[in-house]
Amino acid sequence: MLAVDAINKSNSGHPGLPMGCAPMGFTLWDKFLNHNPKNPEWFNRDRFVLSAGHGCMLLYALLHLSGYDSVTIDDIKQFRQWGSRAPGHPETFETPGIEVTTGPLGAGISNAVGLAIAEAHLSAKFNKSDACIVDHYTYVVMGDGCNQEGISSEACSLAGHLKLGKLIALYDDNRITIDGRTDVSFTEDVLKRYEAYGWHVQHVADGDTDIKSIETAIAAAKAVKDKPSIIKISTTIGYGSPNKSDTAGVHGAPLGEEETNLTKQQLNWDYAPFEVPQEAYEQYRKAIERGAKLEADWNQTLSNYSTKYPIEAAEFQRMLRGELPKDWDKDLPSYSADDKGQATRKHSQICLGALGPNLPELIGGSADLTHSNYTDIKGETGSFQSDSPEKRYLHFGVREHAMAAILNGIAYHKSGLIPYGGTFLVFADYMRGSMRLSALSEIGVIYVLTHDSIGVGEDGPTHQPIETIPSLRAIPNMLVFRPGDGNETSGAYKLAIQNRKRPSALCLSRQGMANQPNSSIEKVALGGYILEDCEGDPDLILIGTGSELDLCVQASKHLTKSGHKIRVVSMPCIELFEEQSDSYKEKVFPSSIRKRLVVEAAESFGWHKYIGLDGNSISMNRFGASAPGGTCMEKFGFTVANVIDKAKLLLN
Amino acid sequence: MLAVDAINKSNSGHPGLPMGCAPMGFTLWDKFLNHNPKNPEWFNRDRFVLSAGHGCMLLYALLHLSGYDSVTIDDIKQFRQWGSRAPGHPETFETPGIEVTTGPLGAGISNAVGLAIAEAHLSAKFNKSDACIVDHYTYVVMGDGCNQEGISSEACSLAGHLKLGKLIALYDDNRITIDGRTDVSFTEDVLKRYEAYGWHVQHVADGDTDIKSIETAIAAAKAVKDKPSIIKISTTIGYGSPNKSDTAGVHGAPLGEEETNLTKQQLNWDYAPFEVPQEAYEQYRKAIERGAKLEADWNQTLSNYSTKYPIEAAEFQRMLRGELPKDWDKDLPSYSADDKGQATRKHSQICLGALGPNLPELIGGSADLTHSNYTDIKGETGSFQSDSPEKRYLHFGVREHAMAAILNGIAYHKSGLIPYGGTFLVFADYMRGSMRLSALSEIGVIYVLTHDSIGVGEDGPTHQPIETIPSLRAIPNMLVFRPGDGNETSGAYKLAIQNRKRPSALCLSRQGMANQPNSSIEKVALGGYILEDCEGDPDLILIGTGSELDLCVQASKHLTKSGHKIRVVSMPCIELFEEQSDSYKEKVFPSSIRKRLVVEAAESFGWHKYIGLDGNSISMNRFGASAPGGTCMEKFGFTVANVIDKAKLLLN
């Protein structure tokens, strides 16, 4: 009823799910969920994910009733209002106690797979036969929408493969979607599908009133250790509403006063709006005492562990503090111009190899492109599997969207793990929904995106990114790096690792490029910097990134010989450049110097911020073509000669 | 062996699949596929989709062997070279006979669902009990990768629901992916999953040599009319290669000379590179005669049909010619400034209602947001279901990515159908992979994307697009419309319908906005135009789109009163503006007038092409927030007062 009242007051929201899922929510939180309302950050809590995020009032109500300080009754009264801690979907960055930002359907259950992977990995890594410091379940409430989305299919197939026994999903089977009854589009046998994935499946036929069966089913799911569990709980959407229950009308619109009164009558609910019966508080808030004891017991366990295993305990606690190990970056390589040029994907592999031994929290893999993305960590063997969860390499399969969501889930676990994942840059499109959530939720996932331009070559336009880099740059809070040599790749990794509140997208080449004499790891932090310069004010500024940086450098040499004063600016990360001081930006790009030419084998979209109305670009304003990479580069104008020509057009 | 030779010669490509799938390819094309090699466009052909597009040499070999003029032996020798008709993945726009552009995994099988929907719809619409002019199968070869991708899960769940009996997928079960054996990440029971979707499933245990069983299985699949079929065919990747078969090494790298020789020995293949045994040509090219007869018979059927049903026949043939009906746009509404302002999503619904009766080829729906996107066609009842395939409304379920791929599939059917589909703009991210393919493959899918800014309001930042519009604008060949009132919405629809070689993304508001006195349907074709102007040269140009256009108009009135000369430019479609003449563009944005202010409730990314280094923007450079839409607009600076303030900063 709190949900009904809040949604009526805000005149906006989704009452159907909270009304239908109250029984399963109550059962789970009252009987099973290990958490400490007075410390939402307590490490060993069970994670609860409301994958059907539109039903957030269920979650706010559970948090409030259970005694979380983060959601007061006043917050609930401010549901969906400016500045409220009860926003329209659950958001980790607004409300302590929210584990995962949800709303985009299918993402939450997929994040939960990541949470369960993190738990399994840390359990295997830290637990001892006589001291178990990592031991919790991940619970999910998901709806029909979550089960229709492909991302959940990908993630749940992988969860079954990995036998994530501590992942338990409660599937709110209410047979209603926005378009009406699910039978207009969704008549598959969901449980059979999950069985095919290797999950343990159960069905509770009456989720509206049969709390005992829900309890029994959750207990049974917990007992199955070698399979994730799904419990299909058949409910009535908007349960209790005499005229709107079991209709799409109650999914996403307020009940309204009249129907609310009828609902209260039907449910024998004799309380004013926002009035919570004392007995409800009393029952729910037993969680406070239980939680305090759970945390105290765990603290004792950790204390014993620390005595017996001081090195492991120190490491565990360092990770929980989110503190990087001393000298974690000491092996990141630097290069001189004499070092042989390599592809930045190769430099990336070297970085991962250099970081791996010094940064045990680094965990990741590839969406089935390990030997193309070079995402392996040198010297490590084996991968995270059901019988080797201590390993940190993840084979995601050909499942980009789930990969991104799982990486988010690992980050959401807040245990210091630093997740990374690789695919071809062009397939960032497949996982963009979850990349956006990394940025929105302020979590430092690292995306290793190789084959970053038409330099991909023969695979052709389906595999050649054109618009992908600009479209990633458009995402707020996403750091997009396109390093131009070995030093810049090391610098990009250093910054990606350090930025634990911002995701990073590393755009890396398939093909080799020269190392620059004046690049450095440190300069990457400036986002853009003067790589080569002339004496006095330049006549023209060349701007380059990635594999096109060296074209600018070579062209500048020719142009300098012809008597022109040329500056070359390397721009490995536009976002970081934008955060520099105005005076620094003015130093790099003096307002008075308007002859500017950017060279990047991608759409020019976005670059006019630097070249303005008077500059020019050598860029890709069409899709690519299938041919050897060098041929593509040449045919599309990415040659030193063309840079010189276009520069001269500006200079003359 | 053609695949082996071509890949060796180009030193790039994927021999594993063609070698493993040659038996199923031969069986299907020799025994079942109805097509006419001498007329790849013959309407009633079976559609063949190679969903595992990297195996394209299989398809080029089949086309060449069967006698298609589009793939000669010289084309095959130019595999993956600049200008070749045998590019690195199958591309419809390069090679006649290719039905679908594939490569991004999972997309092809999902397109095939669209092809099968198109066939079922047209069958129901045109066929008569005594004259069947639409009657073909859609065949797919898909791999493990396709089955791991979530998009295929979405599409195949829907295909099962819709009982698309003429869709038959051959699943190349070779148990190898790039990362090694599939058992590192993919151990689900695929056939059981498809059974759960409602598909007919079969297994051929030996796909390497047991051609008879493949034939029997395809025949059985054809006989099942009320379910789509999947036949799991267990094969050996790189079959015949003694050292590389059954390894990831043969997936995506040439066999090389030595291993090729060993393979030829093992397969008793005594021919030179690119040499095709005469008996192979003879067997395959029986397809030419068969095809000619099939088409002749069909022409006769059509001729009989035309006699008996002249009106339907004329309509059918008009559609096949891709010709729009006379006066199709006659009911598209125009508005005056006196007409009550409405949300552009509402205008969109009115447009669909106005087009529906006059444009019977319009077919589409929504990813379970019909009553939010307003994608229904007024006056029409019912939807495309297994028992009502003549209906043209599609309930896609909560499956955005499959929706986009299915829309592509309907367009790929090339029968004049004009597909559209709706979801929230922010969830364009979920379907971006397939939106990109609409643009690349030059097909006129219409994306109806509502809730286009922070104006969404209470649903909050997970549902408020910020970077989505810019990121769509970055896609080559995509028309992105953001209409600013009723006239511009009608204009956007008119252009979207007319552009059959370019997809359109219509970005539409949740909230209302005023109708402008000087907008018109026709002006939208200019992409950007002067909506309000001053006498003589303006001091400042305000640029607006969508719901922010009226802010510019209102601000210009105030500023004009204060004695400033203001121009307001409406920019409903940047891409079309870019295609205007230089003189027109100069007229709208004179180079000398540098004081320019753009107002758009989205990332400013991309707008500097018009505002340059000297202009400014009122835009969103962070994620939004959960609050009523009007509050969000105000808090983030989208007010007339702020436009005036920012304009004055530029003017002073």
Taking only the tens place, the pLDDT of each residue in A195-228 is 999 999 999 999 999 999 999 999 999 999 999 9
Residues B480 and B510 sit within 8 Å (Cβ to Cβ): no
Which residues on B lie below 8 Å from A475 (Cβ)? 467, 471
Under DSSP, the state recorded for B548 is G
Q: In DSSP terms, which residues pair with B512 in a beta bridge?
A: B343
Chain B interface, best mutation among A471, A604, A635, by max B CB count within 10 A: A471
Cβ separation A603–B184 shorter than 8 A:
no
Backbone angles phi, psi at B542, to 5 degrees: -95, 135
Domains B2-291 and B342-513 share a fold: yes
Assign residue B527 a region (left: φ > 0; alpha: ψ between -120 and 50; beta: otherwise).
left
Strands (E), B385-502: 393-395, 418-424, 446-450, 479-481
| Closest to B581 (Cα-Cα) out of B630, B526, B633 | B526
Under DSSP, the state recorded for B425 is G
Cβ separation A13–B458 shorter than 8 A:
yes
- Cβ neighbours of residue B9 closer than 8 Å, sequence gap 6 or more: B77, B79, B273
Cβ separation B474–A476 shorter than 8 A:
no
Query: Under DSSP, is residue A615 helix (H, G, I), strand (E, B) or coil?
Result: coil
Closest Cα in chain A, distance from residue B26 (Å): 25
* Domain spans of chain B, in order of start: 2-291, 342-513, 527-651
Query: CA-CA distance, A399 to A134, in Å (whole number)?
Result: 28
Nearest to B189 among A180, A196, A612 (CB): A196
Strands A200-204 and A229-234: parallel
Cβ-Cβ pairs closer than 8 A, A with B, add up to 357
Chain B interface, best mutation among A179, A373, A600, A603, by max B CB count within 10 A: A179
Cβ separation A161–B187 shorter than 8 A:
yes
| C-alpha pair distances (Å), B250 with each of A254, A587, B19, B622 | 58, 53, 10, 46
| Closest to B456 (Cα-Cα) out of B626, B643, B636, B638 | B626
Closest Cα in chain A, distance from residue B183 (Å): 8
| C-alpha pair distances (Å), A556 with each of A471, A534, A553, A609, B98 | 29, 10, 5, 22, 45
Cβ separation B628–A81 shorter than 8 A:
yes
Mean pLDDT, each 10-residue run in order, chain B (652 residues): 96 96 98 98 98 97 98 97 96 97 98 98 97 97 98 98 98 93 96 98 98 98 98 97 95 95 96 97 98 98 98 98 97 98 98 98 98 96 97 98 98 98 98 98 98 97 98 98 98 98 98 98 98 97 98 98 98 98 98 98 97 98 97 98 98 92
- Cβ neighbours of residue B359 closer than 8 Å, sequence gap 6 or more: B324, B325, B328, B418, B497
Q: In DSSP terms, which residues pair with A173 in a beta bridge?
A: A234
Residue of B nearest to A14 (CA): B459
Q: What is the pLDDT of residue B218?
A: 98
Residues B351 and B333 sit within 8 Å (Cβ to Cβ): yes
Closest Cα in chain A, distance from residue B489 (Å): 24
Q: What is the pLDDT of residue A278?
A: 97
Residues B37 and B287 sit within 8 Å (Cβ to Cβ): yes
Cβ separation A476–B463 shorter than 8 A:
no
Residue of A nearest to B56 (CA): A459
Nearest to B460 among A87, A383, A631 (CB): A87
Nearest to B436 among A157, A429, A476 (CB): A429
Averaged pLDDT, A59-70: 98
Neighbours of A622 (CB within 10 A): 12
Residues B574 and B473 sit within 8 Å (Cβ to Cβ): yes
Residue of B nearest to A442 (CA): B623
Neighbours of A275 (CB within 10 A): 14
HEC string of B433-463?
A: HHHHHHHHCCCCCEEEEECCCHHHCCCCCCC
Residues of A tagged active-site = 400
Closest Cα in chain B, distance from residue A622 (Å): 5
Which residues on A lie below 8 Å from B101 (Cβ)? 462
Query: Under DSSP, is residue A632 helix (H, G, I), strand (E, B) or coil?
Result: helix
Helices (H) and strands (E) in chain B, counts: 24, 20
Residue of B nearest to A194 (CA): B193
Query: Under DSSP, is residue A115 helix (H, G, I), strand (E, B) or coil?
Result: helix
Query: CA-CA distance, B413 to B179, in Å (whole number)?
Result: 35
Cβ separation B195–A192 shorter than 8 A:
yes
Element (H, E) at B362: strand B362-366
Which residues on A lie below 8 Å from B160 (Cβ)? 187-188
| Closest to A558 (Cα-Cα) out of A634, A624, A481, A646 | A646
Which residues on A lie below 8 Å from B623 (Cβ)? 439-440, 476-477
Question: Which residue out of B400, B532, B548, B600 is catalytically annotated?
Answer: B400
Residues A188 and B196 sit within 8 Å (Cβ to Cβ): yes
Cβ separation A161–B188 shorter than 8 A:
yes
| C-alpha pair distances (Å), B221 with each of A193, A293, B29, B116, B228 | 21, 61, 15, 15, 8
Which residues on A lie below 8 Å from B621 (Cβ)? 476
Residue of B nearest to A372 (CA): B178
Q: Where are the alpha helices (DSSP H) in B186-309?
A: 190-197, 211-223, 257-266, 278-284, 286-308
Neighbours of B146 (CB within 10 A): 27
Residues A526 and A582 sit within 8 Å (Cβ to Cβ): no
Cβ separation B398–A148 shorter than 8 A:
yes
Strands (E), A436-577: 446-450, 479-481, 504-508, 512-513, 529-532, 540-544, 566-570
Query: CA-CA distance, B423 to B369, in Å (whole number)?
Result: 6
Q: What is the pLDDT of residue A437?
A: 98
Token pair for B212: 């008879």
Query: CA-CA distance, A482 to B332, in Å (whole number)?
Result: 46
Which residues on B lie below 8 Å from A13 (Cβ)? 458
User: Which amino acid belongs to residue A576?
Assistant: L
Residue of A nearest to B441 (CA): A462
Q: What is the pLDDT of residue B186?
A: 96
Query: HSE-up of B261 (CA within 13 Å, CB side)?
Result: 2
Query: CA-CA distance, B263 to B242, in Å (whole number)?
Result: 6
Residues A527 and A580 sit within 8 Å (Cβ to Cβ): yes
Residue of B nearest to A151 (CA): B150
Cβ separation A185–B396 shorter than 8 A:
yes
Cβ separation A188–B198 shorter than 8 A:
yes
Average pLDDT in chain A: 97
Neighbours of B457 (CB within 10 A): 25
Averaged pLDDT, A301-321: 98
Under DSSP, the state recorded for B325 is P
Cβ separation B178–A369 shorter than 8 A:
yes
% of chain B at pLDDT higher than 90: 99
Element (H, E) at B568: strand B566-570
Cβ separation B91–A622 shorter than 8 A:
no
Residue given tokens 């726009």 in the structure block = B93
Alpha-carbon torsion, ordered B23, B28, B32, B38, to 10 deg: -110
**What is B2-291's CATH topology?**
Rossmann fold (3.40.50)
Alpha-carbon torsion, ordered B511, B512, B518, B524, to 10 deg: 40
pTM of the predicted structure, to 2 decimals: 0.98
Backbone angles phi, psi at A84, to 5 degrees: -70, 150
In which order are the strands placed within the sheet that holds A47-50? A47-50, A138-142, A167-173, A229-234, A200-204
Closest Cα in chain B, distance from residue A385 (Å): 8
Cβ separation B53–A462 shorter than 8 A:
yes
Closest Cα in chain B, distance from residue A604 (Å): 8
Is position B295 annotated as part of the catalytic site? no
Q: Give domain B342-513's CATH architecture.
A: 3-Layer(aba) Sandwich (3.40)
Select the CATH number that applies to the domain covering B527-651 from these four: 3.40.50.80, 3.20.20.70, 3.40.50.920, 3.90.226.30.
Answer: 3.40.50.920
Query: Under DSSP, is residue A449 helix (H, G, I), strand (E, B) or coil?
Result: strand
Entry field: residues in chain A: 652
DSSP-derived secondary structure for A180-216: EEGGGT--S-HHHHHHHHT-EEEEES-TTT-HHHHHH
Residue of B nearest to A189 (CA): B196
Nearest to A87 among B84, B476, B626 (CB): B626
Q: What is the pLDDT of residue A621?
A: 94
| Closest to B89 (Cα-Cα) out of B49, B127, B139 | B49
Closest Cα in chain A, distance from residue B337 (Å): 30
Which residues on B lie below 8 Å from A53 (Cβ)? 462
Closest Cα in chain B, distance from residue A277 (Å): 28
Cβ separation A458–B385 shorter than 8 A:
no
Closest Cα in chain B, distance from residue A196 (Å): 5
Cβ separation B187–A195 shorter than 8 A:
no
